[in-house]
Amino acid sequence: MIHASLLKKQHFYLGLMAVVIFITLMIAMTSGHASLPLHRLIPTLTGAGTFQESFILFSIRMPRIIITLLAGMALSLSGAILQSVTRNDLADPGIIGINAGAGVAVSIFFIFFNIEAGTFVYMIPLVGFIGALITAVLIYLFSYKRTEGIKPMHLILVGVGFSTALSGLMVVIISSQEAEKVDFIAKWLAGNIWGSDWPFVFALLPWLIVFIPFTLLKANRLNLLSMSESVAIGVGVSIQKERIQLLFAAVALAAVSVSITGGIAFIGLMAPHIAKRLIGPRHQLFLPLAILTGGWLLLVADTLGRSLTNTMIPAGIVVSLIGAPYFIYLLLTSD
């Protein structure tokens, strides 16, 4: 029933975004402290680079770029799901407490278990993931009512409450520790892409491979869930079941990316919104575009953060610099 001209428009935007991402990838691979000029990129990619060039590209930049891209995609998809399920355009994994949940878990783990760099590093995504999942379950339980199931509005309010409380808890934890020890946590909180190694790519990728098709298959249900509840029930959507499944997907996607990239907010808010602006509210059309846009936004933020100044600005901060004004703009223009 979707008009052919609209499909064409979507293909155009998808193509455009793919080109933009490609160009950004080129820039990202050639910018940073160590020099790897553009004309050396192709030779290095095809294996004809010097040892130093190959090392910079394959061991430092490439995993980081891919992680950034994937995490941005996951956060965007997570935000898009949350917005539709809660029927609120301002929902974002960061705003409803999932980031904070991961943050608290990582902080506690970091402080109460002695750090042994090697193995510890690979535990962090897992710990963050568990923290986010526990938070999500708590938010769910607190916003659940026996007679009505979960109400989207409750979910958001409880989530915002949890987010604030957990951030407070994290401040308490951090301030009770010595400064050097919490340096890592502070960086993590700021959204510094720290897990920039190949294993993290493989930790992130499976989630996207599972949940992108899963969500796209649910596109019609998401269309209906974002309408009024009685309309969705009326045509036979099992709203409680669908909400739980989709919320799980959203939490998993956000948790796994945040635990690798650190606390990054706003991507889940901005990317779906931009995609909806461009192509309209149908999930089968805007989700793919939102996924690409999210990946691109985080890639841009990280590239800017590590090439603009001599000190590295965490991607989370760059995203917030763009995201906060955008959030205010959204607030002012939403009806």
Partner 1 sequence: MDRLSTADVTIGYDDTLVIKDLNITIPDKKITTIIGSNGCGKSTLLKAMTRILPYQTGGIFLDGKEITTEHTKALAKKMAILPQAPEGAHGLTVGELVSYGRFPYQTMLGHLSKKDHDVINWALEVTGTSSFKYKAVDALSGGQRQRVWIAMALAQETDIIFLDEPTTYLDMAHQLEVLELLERLNKEEGRTIVMVLHDLNHAARFADFIIALKEGAIVRAGAPVDIMISDVLKKVFQIDAVIGKDPRTNKPMCLTYQLLEGGTLT
d(CA 124, CA 106): 6
d(CA 296, CA 290): 10
Output 141 or 186, the one with its CB closest to partner 1.
Answer: 141
Structure tokens at 280: 């309209």
Q: Shortest approach of partner 1 to residue 214 CB, angstroms?
A: 11
Is 263 in a helix, a strand, or coil? coil
Q: Shortest approach of partner 1 to residue 208 CB, angstroms?
A: 20
Q: Looking up tokens 């750090």, which residue turns up?
A: 115
Output 39 or 145, the one with its CB closest to partner 1.
Answer: 145
Q: Shortest approach of partner 1 to residue 282 CB, angstroms?
A: 7
Output 136 or 279, the one with its CB closest to partner 1.
Answer: 279
The 3 state secondary structure assigned to 79-140 is HHHHHHHHCCCCCCCCCCCHHHHHHHHHHHHHHHCCCCHHHHHHHHHHHHHHHHHHHHHHHH
Residues 6+ apart with CB under 8 A from 289: 10, 13, 14, 17, 275, 278, 279
Output 138 or 227, the one with its CB closest to partner 1.
Answer: 227
Q: Shortest approach of partner 1 to residue 287 CB, angstroms?
A: 13
Output 52 or 238, the one with its CB closest to partner 1.
Answer: 238
Would you say 328 and 269 are in contact if contact means Cβ atoms under 8 Å apart? no
Rounded alpha-carbon distances, angstroms, from residue 207 to 200, 253, 321: 12, 7, 28
Which residues here bind partner 1, judged by CB under 8 A? 1-3, 145, 147, 217, 219-220, 223-224, 226-231, 233-238, 280-282, 284
Q: Shortest approach of partner 1 to residue 63 CB, angstroms?
A: 35
Output 223 or 307, the one with its CB closest to partner 1.
Answer: 223
Would you say 258 and 194 are in contact if contact means Cβ atoms under 8 Å apart? no
Q: Shortest approach of partner 1 to residue 76 CB, angstroms?
A: 19
> Cβ atoms within 10 A of the Cβ of 23, count?
11
